[in-house]
Amino acid sequence: MSLLAERVTARFERHRRLRRTPALRRLIRETRVDPASLILPVFVDARVERPEPIASLAGHARWPASRVEEIAERAMRAGIGGLLLFGLPTAKDDRGTAAADPDGPVPRALRAIRGADLALVADVCLCEYTTHGHCGVLDADGGVDNDATLPLLAGAAAAYARAGADVVAPSDMMDGRVAAIRASLDEDRRGDVAILSYAAKYASAFYGPFRDAAECAPAFGDRSGYQMDPPNRREALAEIATDIAEGTDLVMVKPAGPYLDVIAAARERFDVPIAAYQVSGEYAALQAAAARGWLDLERAARESLVAIARAGAGPIVTYFALDAARWFRER
Ligand code: PBG
């Protein structure tokens, strides 16, 4: 080596030393995705007798409550942390009454799997149950009436708690719903049922495939009057602070991948668990690209989940949960 080359090589850092072997890379890995922190979304459909595949969500189906046990078993075998249940009722009305029906799809499914070694989370929202597809009831001008919606959400949450939900997860973005739900649970002597609020839920284009799956696209207008405006980060922190003050136990940022900065900021500021929801469009986009051979599904999906964990999310809701549990078992 020339004298010059020797002097140069002595002077720079050799970051590559610790990337040399798989063992070294595992040793210094800063972020791990623990299968136990993954939550699988499950659609329970009161109108079907067998699992009906969802075209926009490869590998997912709408399940009859009578067979949700099969999913719970798969989830336990995979070692994932929990299930997040969504319901599709037999009939809808303009007030979303079926959301609180004790014999609706979600309560039935919960009764079938209560006691399983999984965190059972029930999504609380009216949009799957209303004819107009909005997340709350409408006022005379066709706007969503915040305060008139609160008792309906509280009623739905109570029905899921009675059926065996460990956690109820309001995703409607009405103001005051955490307080309303907490009060209703406590009054019903369900003080031990937790609330996971979708505190920072953005009006996102990435919910497209879900709205197909859950048949809950708004019949007119959009959700920007209640879901958050994508450019806003500080507002997310204000939403989270409010929900914590109202008594939420965990908070969620949604979508996940396009909002990693929000997850990181929330993690920095608050001490409650910060969950993140890798939504249907994030999943479907990777699936579609992989189906065309444009990217490697496992590697891309793993990278997307690691990024969400690295940003600071604890529980992660993802349609990849079952596969990811296998991928992240390292050896
Ligand atoms: C219902 C709800 C939605 C999602 C979860 N709960 C749809 C929406 O707000 O339009 C989206 C989940 C996903 O896209 O995977 N309020």
Q: How does pLDDT run across 270-316, given as a tens digit for each residue?
A: 999 999 999 999 999 999 999 999 999 999 999 999 999 999 999 99
Task: Name the β-bridge partners of 137.
Answer: none
Q: Which residue range(s) make up the domain with 76? A: 31-330
Check pocket membership of 68 for ligand 1, CB cut-off 6 A.
Answer: no
Catalytic residue, chosen from 201, 251, 263, 305, is 201
Residue 160 lies in a domain: yes
Residue 20 lies in a domain: no
Annotated catalytic, 92? no
Q: What are the pLDDT digits (tens) for 249-267?
A: 999 999 999 999 999 999 9
Query: 320 CB contacts (<8 Å, ≥6 apart)?
Result: 278, 283, 301, 305
Check pocket membership of 320 for ligand 1, CB cut-off 6 A.
Answer: no
| Residue among 40, 202, 207, 318 whose CB has most ligand 1 atoms within 8 A, to mutate | 207
Residue 281 lies in a domain: yes
Q: Which two tokens stand for residue 224?
A: 């920007």
pLDDT at position 1 is 57
Residue 205 lies in a domain: yes
Structure pTM?
0.96
Q: How many domains does the chain have?
A: 1
The 8-class DSSP code of residue 256 comes to: S
In this structure, what CATH number is given to the domain that contains residue 281? 3.20.20.70
Residue 312 lies in a domain: yes
Annotated catalytic, 201? yes
Q: Is 32 helix (H, G, I), strand (E, B) or coil?
A: coil
Question: Residue 186 above 60 pLDDT?
Answer: yes
Q: Is 123 helix (H, G, I), strand (E, B) or coil?
A: strand
Q: Nearest Cα to 177, choosing from 123, 98, 119?
A: 123
Residue 6 lies in a domain: no
CA of 101 to the centre of ligand 1 (A): 20
Q: What are the pLDDT digits (tens) for 194-236?
A: 999 999 999 999 999 999 899 999 999 999 999 999 999 999 9
Catalytic residue, chosen from 42, 98, 254, 279, is 254
Residue 179 lies in a domain: yes
Question: Residue 235 is inside which H or E element, if any?
Answer: helix 234-246
Residue 64 lies in a domain: yes
